[in-house]
Amino acid sequence: MSWAAHDLEPYAMQRHLGKRVAIIPLIIGSYAPDLTTKWFVYGVSLFGFKLKADNPAQFHRGWPGAGFTHSLAFGVVIALLILLFTRRRIWAFSFLLGQWAHALTDTGDTVGTMLLFPVTTHHFSVGAWAYAGQTGRFNDAGAYFSGLGFVWDGIWIALATLGWRVLTRSYFEETVLPGDPIWTWAQAALPGAAVIALYRASFFYGVSRWVAWVLWAHVANSYPMDLTWGGPHWVPALTASLPPVRAGPARMAFLCPCGSCC
Ligand SMILES: [Zn+2]
Protein backbone atom coordinates (compact mmCIF):
# COMPACT_ATOMS: atom_id res chain seq x y z
CA MET A 1 0.00 0.00 0.00
CA SER A 2 1.10 3.52 -0.62
CA TRP A 3 0.43 6.61 1.43
CA ALA A 4 1.29 10.02 0.00
CA ALA A 5 1.69 8.70 -3.58
CA HIS A 6 -2.08 8.41 -3.99
CA ASP A 7 -2.48 12.08 -2.96
CA LEU A 8 0.22 13.36 -5.29
CA GLU A 9 0.00 11.28 -8.46
CA PRO A 10 -3.06 13.22 -9.71
CA TYR A 11 -1.05 16.48 -9.78
CA ALA A 12 1.77 14.87 -11.74
CA MET A 13 -0.81 13.58 -14.23
CA GLN A 14 -2.50 16.97 -14.34
CA ARG A 15 0.83 18.51 -15.22
CA HIS A 16 1.32 16.20 -18.18
CA LEU A 17 -2.23 15.97 -19.45
CA GLY A 18 -3.44 19.54 -18.87
CA LYS A 19 -6.93 20.08 -20.25
CA ARG A 20 -7.39 16.42 -21.12
CA VAL A 21 -8.12 15.55 -17.47
CA ALA A 22 -10.35 16.82 -14.68
CA ILE A 23 -8.56 16.81 -11.34
CA ILE A 24 -11.53 16.05 -9.05
CA PRO A 25 -12.52 12.71 -10.63
CA LEU A 26 -8.79 12.02 -11.02
CA ILE A 27 -8.28 12.41 -7.26
CA ILE A 28 -11.46 10.46 -6.46
CA GLY A 29 -10.21 7.65 -8.71
CA SER A 30 -6.84 7.75 -6.98
CA TYR A 31 -8.51 7.40 -3.57
CA ALA A 32 -11.31 5.03 -4.62
CA PRO A 33 -9.70 1.62 -4.00
CA ASP A 34 -8.86 2.43 -0.38
CA LEU A 35 -11.81 4.70 0.35
CA THR A 36 -14.17 1.84 1.08
CA THR A 37 -11.64 -0.67 2.38
CA LYS A 38 -8.92 0.81 4.55
CA TRP A 39 -11.06 1.64 7.59
CA PHE A 40 -11.97 -2.04 7.81
CA VAL A 41 -8.36 -3.13 7.32
CA TYR A 42 -7.20 -1.16 10.36
CA GLY A 43 -10.48 -1.49 12.23
CA VAL A 44 -12.74 1.13 13.76
CA SER A 45 -14.62 1.30 17.03
CA LEU A 46 -18.30 1.94 16.65
CA PHE A 47 -20.75 2.03 19.58
CA GLY A 48 -18.42 -0.09 21.69
CA PHE A 49 -17.81 -2.65 18.96
CA LYS A 50 -14.61 -3.02 17.05
CA LEU A 51 -15.20 -3.54 13.35
CA LYS A 52 -12.16 -5.09 11.75
CA ALA A 53 -11.53 -7.62 9.01
CA ASP A 54 -10.55 -11.06 10.30
CA ASN A 55 -7.87 -11.20 7.71
CA PRO A 56 -7.09 -7.58 6.74
CA ALA A 57 -4.85 -8.32 3.75
CA GLN A 58 -7.30 -10.84 2.34
CA PHE A 59 -10.13 -8.35 2.71
CA HIS A 60 -8.12 -5.42 1.32
CA ARG A 61 -6.49 -7.14 -1.66
CA GLY A 62 -7.94 -10.60 -2.04
CA TRP A 63 -10.91 -12.49 -3.35
CA PRO A 64 -13.21 -13.27 -1.62
CA GLY A 65 -12.84 -9.80 -0.22
CA ALA A 66 -12.69 -6.27 -1.58
CA GLY A 67 -9.48 -6.79 -3.56
CA PHE A 68 -11.43 -6.24 -6.77
CA THR A 69 -11.34 -2.49 -5.95
CA HIS A 70 -7.64 -2.68 -6.86
CA SER A 71 -8.23 -4.26 -10.29
CA LEU A 72 -8.12 -2.51 -13.66
CA ALA A 73 -11.60 -3.80 -14.50
CA PHE A 74 -13.10 -2.08 -11.44
CA GLY A 75 -11.86 1.25 -12.80
CA VAL A 76 -13.42 0.49 -16.18
CA VAL A 77 -16.79 -0.43 -14.66
CA ILE A 78 -16.98 2.70 -12.50
CA ALA A 79 -15.77 4.87 -15.39
CA LEU A 80 -18.50 3.44 -17.63
CA LEU A 81 -21.08 4.16 -14.93
CA ILE A 82 -19.82 7.74 -14.68
CA LEU A 83 -20.11 8.05 -18.44
CA LEU A 84 -23.59 6.57 -18.43
CA PHE A 85 -24.92 8.86 -15.72
CA THR A 86 -23.08 12.09 -16.48
CA ARG A 87 -22.25 11.81 -20.21
CA ARG A 88 -18.95 13.50 -19.39
CA ARG A 89 -16.09 11.63 -21.01
CA ILE A 90 -13.44 13.66 -19.22
CA TRP A 91 -14.83 12.65 -15.80
CA ALA A 92 -14.92 8.98 -16.75
CA PHE A 93 -11.42 9.07 -18.27
CA SER A 94 -9.97 10.97 -15.30
CA PHE A 95 -11.50 8.58 -12.78
CA LEU A 96 -10.11 5.65 -14.75
CA LEU A 97 -6.61 7.12 -14.80
CA GLY A 98 -6.63 7.80 -11.08
CA GLN A 99 -7.93 4.34 -10.20
CA TRP A 100 -5.47 2.61 -12.51
CA ALA A 101 -2.59 4.60 -11.03
CA HIS A 102 -3.67 3.42 -7.57
CA ALA A 103 -4.01 -0.24 -8.59
CA LEU A 104 -0.60 -0.18 -10.32
CA THR A 105 1.09 1.72 -7.49
CA ASP A 106 -0.02 -0.86 -4.94
CA THR A 107 1.76 -3.61 -6.87
CA GLY A 108 4.87 -2.09 -5.25
CA ASP A 109 4.27 -3.89 -1.95
CA THR A 110 4.70 -7.54 -1.05
CA VAL A 111 1.01 -8.47 -1.39
CA GLY A 112 0.34 -6.65 -4.67
CA THR A 113 -3.00 -6.32 -6.43
CA MET A 114 -5.29 -8.52 -8.52
CA LEU A 115 -4.79 -6.30 -11.56
CA LEU A 116 -6.52 -8.66 -13.99
CA PHE A 117 -9.44 -9.69 -11.78
CA PRO A 118 -11.91 -11.28 -12.66
CA VAL A 119 -9.85 -13.02 -15.36
CA THR A 120 -7.43 -14.21 -12.70
CA THR A 121 -7.02 -13.73 -8.95
CA HIS A 122 -3.25 -13.69 -9.37
CA HIS A 123 -1.59 -10.93 -7.35
CA PHE A 124 0.79 -8.80 -9.36
CA SER A 125 3.51 -7.72 -6.97
CA VAL A 126 6.86 -6.01 -7.38
CA GLY A 127 7.50 -6.62 -3.68
CA ALA A 128 9.59 -3.49 -3.14
CA TRP A 129 8.22 -2.74 0.33
CA ALA A 130 6.54 -4.73 3.07
CA TYR A 131 2.76 -5.00 3.29
CA ALA A 132 2.01 -4.64 7.00
CA GLY A 133 -1.61 -3.44 7.03
CA GLN A 134 -2.50 -6.38 9.29
CA THR A 135 -0.28 -4.97 12.07
CA GLY A 136 -2.50 -1.88 12.52
CA ARG A 137 -2.34 1.68 11.31
CA PHE A 138 0.59 2.91 13.39
CA ASN A 139 2.85 -0.06 12.92
CA ASP A 140 1.98 -0.05 9.23
CA ALA A 141 2.98 3.60 8.98
CA GLY A 142 6.20 2.95 10.94
CA ALA A 143 7.08 0.14 8.53
CA TYR A 144 6.08 1.96 5.35
CA PHE A 145 8.10 5.05 6.17
CA SER A 146 11.14 2.92 7.11
CA GLY A 147 11.31 0.97 3.86
CA LEU A 148 11.30 1.73 0.15
CA GLY A 149 7.74 3.08 0.51
CA PHE A 150 9.38 6.12 2.09
CA VAL A 151 11.54 6.53 -1.04
CA TRP A 152 8.61 5.89 -3.40
CA ASP A 153 6.47 8.57 -1.76
CA GLY A 154 9.53 10.85 -1.71
CA ILE A 155 9.83 10.47 -5.50
CA TRP A 156 6.19 11.58 -5.92
CA ILE A 157 6.78 14.54 -3.61
CA ALA A 158 9.75 15.51 -5.77
CA LEU A 159 7.78 15.07 -9.02
CA ALA A 160 4.78 16.99 -7.73
CA THR A 161 7.02 19.74 -6.37
CA LEU A 162 8.89 20.01 -9.68
CA GLY A 163 5.50 20.56 -11.26
CA TRP A 164 4.65 23.35 -8.79
CA ARG A 165 3.25 25.46 -11.63
CA VAL A 166 0.08 23.39 -11.68
CA LEU A 167 -0.62 24.75 -8.20
CA THR A 168 -0.56 28.38 -9.25
CA ARG A 169 -3.69 30.47 -9.60
CA SER A 170 -2.91 31.26 -13.24
CA TYR A 171 -2.60 27.56 -14.15
CA PHE A 172 -5.83 26.85 -12.32
CA GLU A 173 -7.67 29.62 -14.13
CA GLU A 174 -6.27 28.85 -17.59
CA THR A 175 -6.22 25.06 -17.59
CA VAL A 176 -8.26 23.54 -14.76
CA LEU A 177 -11.25 25.84 -14.52
CA PRO A 178 -12.40 25.83 -18.18
CA GLY A 179 -12.39 22.04 -18.47
CA ASP A 180 -14.65 21.12 -15.60
CA PRO A 181 -17.99 22.73 -14.63
CA ILE A 182 -17.54 21.54 -11.03
CA TRP A 183 -15.18 24.46 -10.54
CA THR A 184 -17.65 26.95 -11.95
CA TRP A 185 -20.24 25.65 -9.50
CA ALA A 186 -17.69 25.83 -6.68
CA GLN A 187 -16.86 29.40 -7.60
CA ALA A 188 -20.53 30.34 -7.39
CA ALA A 189 -20.76 28.91 -3.88
CA LEU A 190 -17.35 29.68 -2.35
CA PRO A 191 -14.89 32.57 -2.17
CA GLY A 192 -12.06 32.42 -4.74
CA ALA A 193 -9.40 31.63 -2.13
CA ALA A 194 -11.40 28.65 -0.87
CA VAL A 195 -11.77 27.26 -4.39
CA ILE A 196 -8.00 27.44 -4.97
CA ALA A 197 -7.38 25.87 -1.54
CA LEU A 198 -9.73 23.05 -2.50
CA TYR A 199 -7.83 22.50 -5.74
CA ARG A 200 -4.51 22.32 -3.87
CA ALA A 201 -5.83 20.32 -0.91
CA SER A 202 -4.74 16.82 -1.90
CA PHE A 203 -1.23 18.07 -2.73
CA PHE A 204 -0.76 19.69 0.67
CA TYR A 205 -2.42 16.76 2.39
CA GLY A 206 0.06 14.35 0.73
CA VAL A 207 3.14 16.43 1.51
CA SER A 208 2.08 17.13 5.12
CA ARG A 209 1.21 13.50 5.67
CA TRP A 210 4.61 12.36 4.40
CA VAL A 211 6.50 14.88 6.54
CA ALA A 212 4.38 14.17 9.64
CA TRP A 213 4.68 10.38 9.40
CA VAL A 214 8.43 10.53 8.72
CA LEU A 215 8.92 12.75 11.80
CA TRP A 216 6.62 10.51 13.82
CA ALA A 217 8.44 7.33 12.78
CA HIS A 218 12.02 8.57 13.05
CA VAL A 219 12.03 11.52 15.46
CA ALA A 220 9.17 10.85 17.88
CA ASN A 221 9.80 7.08 17.60
CA SER A 222 12.79 5.12 16.45
CA TYR A 223 11.59 2.66 13.84
CA PRO A 224 14.72 1.24 12.23
CA MET A 225 15.27 2.25 8.59
CA ASP A 226 15.66 -0.66 6.22
CA LEU A 227 15.78 0.36 2.58
CA THR A 228 16.47 -3.12 1.27
CA TRP A 229 14.08 -4.70 -1.27
CA GLY A 230 10.90 -5.98 0.39
CA GLY A 231 11.77 -4.30 3.70
CA PRO A 232 11.67 -3.31 6.40
CA HIS A 233 12.38 -6.88 7.41
CA TRP A 234 11.68 -6.27 11.08
CA VAL A 235 7.95 -6.24 10.33
CA PRO A 236 6.07 -9.50 9.59
CA ALA A 237 5.31 -8.67 5.94
CA LEU A 238 2.58 -10.54 4.14
CA THR A 239 3.18 -11.80 0.64
CA ALA A 240 1.07 -12.49 -2.43
CA SER A 241 0.57 -16.06 -1.26
CA LEU A 242 -2.01 -15.01 1.28
CA PRO A 243 -2.95 -17.29 4.14
CA PRO A 244 -5.66 -19.83 3.27
CA VAL A 245 -9.16 -18.39 3.30
CA ARG A 246 -12.41 -19.83 4.40
CA ALA A 247 -15.12 -20.06 1.80
CA GLY A 248 -17.47 -17.11 1.67
CA PRO A 249 -16.87 -13.38 1.88
CA ALA A 250 -14.52 -11.85 4.43
CA ARG A 251 -16.22 -11.93 7.80
CA MET A 252 -16.53 -9.01 10.17
CA ALA A 253 -15.02 -9.55 13.57
CA PHE A 254 -17.00 -8.08 16.41
CA LEU A 255 -14.55 -7.78 19.24
CA CYS A 256 -15.53 -6.59 22.67
CA PRO A 257 -13.37 -3.56 23.53
CA CYS A 258 -12.71 -4.81 27.09
CA GLY A 259 -10.33 -7.35 25.56
CA SER A 260 -10.91 -10.02 28.20
CA CYS A 261 -14.44 -11.43 27.97
CA CYS A 262 -14.62 -12.27 24.25
ZN1 LIG B 1 -4.70 0.63 -2.14
d(CA 162, CA 67): 33
Q: Percentage of the chain surpassing pLDDT 90?
A: 71
CA of 6 to the centre of ligand 1 (A): 8
CA of 103 to the centre of ligand 1 (A): 7
CA of 112 to the centre of ligand 1 (A): 9
Q: What's residue 252's pLDDT?
A: 35
CA of 261 to the centre of ligand 1 (A): 34
CA of 189 to the centre of ligand 1 (A): 33
CA of 54 to the centre of ligand 1 (A): 18
CA of 208 to the centre of ligand 1 (A): 19
Q: What's residue 239's pLDDT?
A: 86
pLDDT in tens, the chain (262 residues): 678 899 999 999 999 999 999 999 999 999 999 887 766 666 666 666 666 666 777 778 888 888 899 999 999 999 999 999 999 999 999 999 999 999 999 999 999 999 999 999 999 999 999 999 888 889 999 999 999 999 999 999 999 889 999 999 999 999 999 989 999 999 999 999 999 999 999 999 999 999 999 999 999 999 999 999 999 999 999 887 744 444 334 333 333 344 444 3
Predicted model pTM: 0.86
